[in-house]
């Protein structure tokens, strides 16, 4: 899991602070809303579907009202939730009821609301799956949606982020304040190497609206997320190009008009067909890293950056990260479009790969504490960052470890990213690598 995913996941596990209206500040990833509905309660109950996917740790059901509205929560087998259970906490204040539920069972839940008076109902999940952080692209830069009023019918490029490593399919729609559908949204994945970023071509309707993302997770369960900010719209009374509220990035609009479509889509994932690993030896025969060979078949002709991340399996307490691996040198065959054949395929390189072709990658990787000097063709040890009190001992214990370990690895934009990582076939002794650098004559980096 990359650092920014871990950060978002940690944030998503925090219990949100809900305002009196039941709605939080825009684009706070703590609040993963399954629904937000503002309506009038009647004696005829309204039932709201709530699909709960695998991996939800806590649910919060919030009803704020001005009259006598009541809610009943029906679990995945259709029975009313027992509010006396130990994993349930109920808080009642004037005009508001909040119900916390830990470890809910996956499946289709429902909330029944009846009574009288106006109300706002929100269901908030804390777990692994997230959709968040909508950004709108204009000629003047990037802004979050709560800072913009959108002109009715004027297409705008918008980007959202989702936990692509836990999602199989997704669909994006607009809904109104009462939770009713308005219309579909055209969208596409940003590129094949990014499972988490999606570009939308948003054409605002006459009324205020929210964005709803739904689909199936990797366990085959339905999910739903609402971007909770109620987007305001207006009718432009001046030319779009001179209106600061609609100063669009026209190049992106034109690109999305060609490439974005509506409807449920499966996330593009390249397939790692096979892989092998071996010790990478220097010209003097010393072990200095790991050579990873893998074959990728791409689902569609597109731009990709299929580079690996490798780190020790089962790291212990106080792991410094020094013995994780980074790309030193890489090649790919056949040569993809957009890469100069005279140059090495390096970390961060992008190229256009053709669908259905098996591409063979050979990647040589160095530990993070080692630097290779291209001009002198020599190694040096970057141990100074690990010399602080307490860190030095852990660093030395790692690099001099005699334990045989395997390495886990993931490849961006493939089925070996996120939760489904690969594991090296061979095991390695970290001390062998460290001693190999010393035999190479490696000294402290200057």
Asked whether residue 113 falls in the same domain as residue 262, the answer is yes
Q: 431 phi and psi, to 5 degrees?
A: -65, -35
Give the model's confidence band at 344: pLDDT under 50 very low, under 70 low, under 90 confident, else very high: low
Of the candidates 368, 361, 365, 369, the one whose C-alpha atom is nearest the C-alpha of residue 416 is: 361
CA distance 37 to 226: 10
Asked whether residue 374 falls in the same domain as residue 282, the answer is yes
Asked whether residue 251 falls in the same domain as residue 291, the answer is no
354-404 residue pLDDT tens: 999 999 999 999 999 999 988 888 999 998 888 887 788 889 988 999 999
| Residue 179 pLDDT greater than 60, yes or no | yes
CA distance 231 to 234: 10
Asked whether residue 218 falls in the same domain as residue 299, the answer is no
CA distance 288 to 321: 17
DSSP string, 107-170: EEEEEEEESSEEEEEEEEEEES--EEEEEEEETTEEEEGGG--EETT--EEEEEEE-GGGBSEE
Give the structural domain span for 209: 3-266
Task: Report yes or no: 260 and 201 within 8 Å, Cβ to Cβ.
Answer: yes
Domain count, the chain: 2
More confident residue, 133 or 102: 102
Asked whether residue 209 falls in the same domain as residue 286, the answer is no
Weakest mean pLDDT among 134-148, 188-202, 260-274? 134-148
203-235 residue pLDDT tens: 999 999 999 999 999 889 999 999 988 999 988
285-342 residue pLDDT tens: 999 999 999 999 998 888 888 878 888 887 666 688 899 999 988 888 998 877 766 5
Domain final position from 266, 283, 318: 266
Domain final position from 249, 266, 283: 266
Asked whether residue 252 falls in the same domain as residue 334, the answer is no
Asked whether residue 256 falls in the same domain as residue 278, the answer is no
pLDDT value for 331 = 87
Q: What is the pTM of this model?
A: 0.76
Of the candidates 193, 198, 360, 172, the one whose C-alpha atom is nearest the C-alpha of residue 269 is: 193
DSSP string, 187-210: EEEEETTEEEEEEEEE---SS-EE
Asked whether residue 250 falls in the same domain as residue 278, the answer is no
Asked whether residue 251 falls in the same domain as residue 333, the answer is no
- Token pair for residue 340? 């100069």
Domain final position from 266, 283, 315: 266
Asked whether residue 169 falls in the same domain as residue 309, the answer is no
Asked whether residue 185 falls in the same domain as residue 236, the answer is yes
What's the CATH number where 128 sits? 2.60.120.380
Asked whether residue 245 falls in the same domain as residue 285, the answer is no
Task: Report yes or no: 258 and 202 within 8 Å, Cβ to Cβ.
Answer: no
């Amino acid at each position: 899991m990359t650092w920014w995913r871990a950060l978002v996941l940690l944030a998503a596990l925090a219990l949100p602070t809900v305002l009196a209206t039941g709605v939080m500040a825009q684009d706070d990833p703590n609040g993963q809303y399954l629904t937000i509905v503002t309506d009038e309660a009647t004696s005829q109950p309204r039932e709201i579907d709530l699909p709960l996917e695998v991996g939800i740790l806590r649910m919060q059901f919030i009803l704020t009202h001005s009259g006598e509205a009541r809610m009943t929560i029906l679990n995945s087998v259709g029975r009313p939730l027992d509010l006396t259970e130990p994993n349930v906490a109920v808080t009642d204040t004037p005009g508001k009821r909040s119900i916390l539920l830990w470890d809910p069972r996956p499946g289709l839940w429902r909330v029944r609301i009846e009574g009288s008076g106006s109300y706002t109902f929100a269901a908030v999940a804390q777990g692994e799956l997230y959709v968040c952080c909508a950004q709108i692209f204009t000629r003047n830069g990037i802004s979050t949606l709560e800072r913009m009023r959108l002109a009715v019918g004027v297409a705008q490029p918008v980007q959202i982020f989702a936990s692509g490593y836990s999602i199989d399919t997704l669909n994006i729609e607009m809904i109104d304040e009462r939770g009713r559908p308005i219309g579909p949204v055209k969208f596409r994945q940003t590129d094949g190497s990014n499972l988490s970023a999606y570009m939308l071509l948003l054409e605002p309707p006459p009324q205020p609206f929210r964005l709803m993302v739904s689909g199936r997770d990797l366990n085959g369960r339905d999910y739903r997320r609402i971007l909770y900010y109620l987007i305001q719209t207006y009718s432009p009374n001046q030319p779009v190009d001179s209106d600061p509220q609609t100063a669009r990035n026209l190049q992106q609009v034109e690109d999305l008009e060609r490439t974005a479509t509506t409807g449920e889509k499966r996330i593009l994932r390249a397939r790692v067909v096979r892989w092998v690993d071996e010790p990478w030896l220097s010209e003097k025969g010393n072990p200095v890293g790991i050579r990873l060979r893998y074959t990728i078949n791409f689902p569609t002709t597109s731009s990709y950056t299929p580079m690996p991340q490798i780190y020790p399996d089962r790291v212990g307490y106080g792991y410094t990260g020094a013995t994780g691996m980074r790309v030193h040198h890489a090649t790919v065959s056949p040569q993809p479009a957009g890469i100069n054949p005279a140059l090495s395929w390096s970390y961060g390189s992008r190229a256009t790969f053709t669908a259905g072709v098996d591409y063979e990658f050979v990647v040589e990787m160095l530990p993070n504490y080692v630097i290779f000097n291209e001009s002198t063709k020599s190694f040096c040890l970057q141990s100074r960052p690990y010399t602080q009190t307490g860190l030095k001992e852990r660093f030395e214990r790692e690099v001099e470890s005699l334990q045989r370990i395997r390495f886990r690895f993931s490849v961006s934009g493939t089925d070996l990213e996120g939760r489904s990582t690969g594991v090296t076939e061979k095991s390695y002794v970290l001390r062998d690598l460290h001693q190999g650098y010393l035999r190479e004559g490696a000294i402290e980096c200057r």
